[in-house]
A and B are shown apart, each in its own frame.
Chain A
């Protein structure tokens, strides 16, 4: 079954700095999702990556997908405090359900 791993698990950044969160997955996934979760809240959809080489950007966040390497990245540019949250990537487990298989999450803390 598909396994999804993220690293780092915890990331403390200073405002204005750049950093990348990595998401590795073990077998083929038709697509790759990125979500944001604030403490005690639900999941907010950030990106859906559908094909090899896909790149999407929204504000200070940019996500990419390399299906050959089974790797997705979420790049943060010039971090601001409002980006502090937990970020999850998820692949599609296959079969009839297309269930989402989530990584363990990356807790991002942006310090002023």
Chain B
């Protein structure tokens, strides 16, 4: 049990559709980041939220957006899905007092 839970675990969507992925973490995890991991590659940083505000973004287009809620849960939204969006999406939570990042179990998104 890592304290970071993602849902759903698997998802299949059609090109052009929209998807929302969810992440919930325990109290104290005031920073949450989202990563995209394509098959055979290392995770790539999408964006990060701190106290409900986005405070950093990687090289991803605006159709990737997110939210963080007061209860430490978070969402990743992707609009106008493309085939290349097929990947494992990971959220990572960090306790402000510690240096470790705890990753959730991930959501495997397949776009057909």
Contacts and interface: CB of A to CB of B under 8 A. Distances in A.
B62 interface: no
B16 interface: no
A48 B48 contact: no
Given A41-B106, A45-B101, A102 B56 contact: no
A97 B100 contact: no
Nearest to A103: B42
Contacts of B100: 45, 48
B56 A97 contact: yes
Contacts of B35: 100
Interface of A: 4, 31, 33, 35, 40-45, 48, 50, 88, 90, 93, 95-97, 99-105
Contact of A100 (B45, B105, B108): B45
Contact of B58 (A50, A99, A104, A105): A99
B21 interface: no
B56 A104 contact: no
Interface residues of B, number: 22
Contacts, number: 55
A96 B56 contact: yes
A102 B43 contact: yes
Contact of A88 (B42, B92, B104, B105): B42
Contacts of A48: 99-100
A40 B105 CA distance: 9
Nearest to B2: A42
Contacts of A103: 42
A41 B105 contact: yes
